[in-house]
């Protein structure tokens, strides 16, 4: 049922996903859904956990065997592709907070974070900067892909070329961050 809800969210948008619409899609009465989920909020949380697991698998699989710029490019492309293919379920991940360390959201989120952390190992980012670098990577990929999903790029330049430019720009920034001049803060 959660997978059906995630697919429907991708189709109609998370904001338009309702228990009634899902019940209709599944060919059941709406009250039947409450045997499986506690309501709309619970359904959205479960979709978010599913999406985070799927994104972690996509990004983690993409970076296997790569390091440095190659790992960055593979991770960024995989994350962007996931968001473009699954905009509704990805939207469920934004702003949702785990209820604790055993919450499936927490576990799934840690898997995705681990994949991006592995990318950063190739850049030798200093420990105090890892959280900042992770936020930067997520912001860049999230921002680009969600703008693309919303048809937010209206200029004539090729979108894929712009994304490759973003990867190159990010690579240069991460490399510069990993090698600050003696006595100089990055």
**Cα four-point dihedral sign 68, 117, 161, 179:** negative
> Does 7 map to a domain?
no
The pLDDT of residue 178 = 81
- Residue 69 confidence (pLDDT) above 70: yes
Average pLDDT, the chain: 94
| Structural domain total, the chain | 1
Orientation angle between helical segments 159-178 and 68-85, nearest 10 degrees:
140
- Total-model pTM: 0.91
Helices (H), the chain: 2-12, 19-26, 30-33, 40-63, 68-85, 87-93, 104-121, 127-149, 159-178
> Does 29 map to a domain?
no
> Does 105 map to a domain?
yes
pLDDT (tens digit, 9 = 90+) per residue, 86-126?
A: 999 999 999 999 998 899 999 999 999 999 999 999 998 99
> Does 41 map to a domain?
no
> Does 37 map to a domain?
no
> Does 36 map to a domain?
no
Of 106, 20, 92, 101, nearest in space to 51 by CA: 92
Of 71, 79, 63, nearest in space to 123 by CA: 71
> Does 22 map to a domain?
no
Show the domain range for 147: 47-178
- Residue 182 confidence (pLDDT) above 50: no
Portion of the chain with pLDDT greater than 90, in percent: 88
> Does 114 map to a domain?
yes
CATH code of residue 95: 1.10.357.10
- Dist CA 71 CA 24 (whole Å): 42
């Amino acid at each position: 049922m959660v997978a059906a809800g995630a697919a429907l969210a991708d189709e109609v948008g998370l904001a338009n996903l309702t228990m009634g619409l899902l019940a209709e899609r599944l060919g059941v009465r709406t009250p039947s859904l409450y045997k499986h989920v506690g309501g709309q909020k619970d359904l959205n949380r479960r979709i978010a956990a599913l999406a985070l697991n799927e994104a972690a698998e996509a990004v983690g699989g993409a970076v296997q065997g790569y390091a440095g710029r190659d790992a960055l490019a593979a991770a960024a492309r995989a994350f962007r592709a996931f968001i473009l293919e699954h905009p509704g379920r990805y939207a469920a991940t934004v702003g949702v907070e785990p209820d604790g360390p055993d919450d499936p959201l927490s576990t799934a989120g840690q898997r995705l974070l681990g994949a991006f952390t592995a990318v950063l190992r190739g850049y030798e980012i200093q420990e105090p900067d890892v959280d900042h670098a992770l936020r930067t990577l997520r912001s860049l990929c999230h921002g680009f892909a969600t703008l693309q999903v919303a048809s937010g790029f209206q200029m004539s330049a090729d979108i894929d070329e712009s994304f490759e430019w973003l990867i190159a720009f990010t690579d240069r920034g991460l490399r510069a961050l990993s090698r600050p001049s003696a006595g100089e803060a990055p």
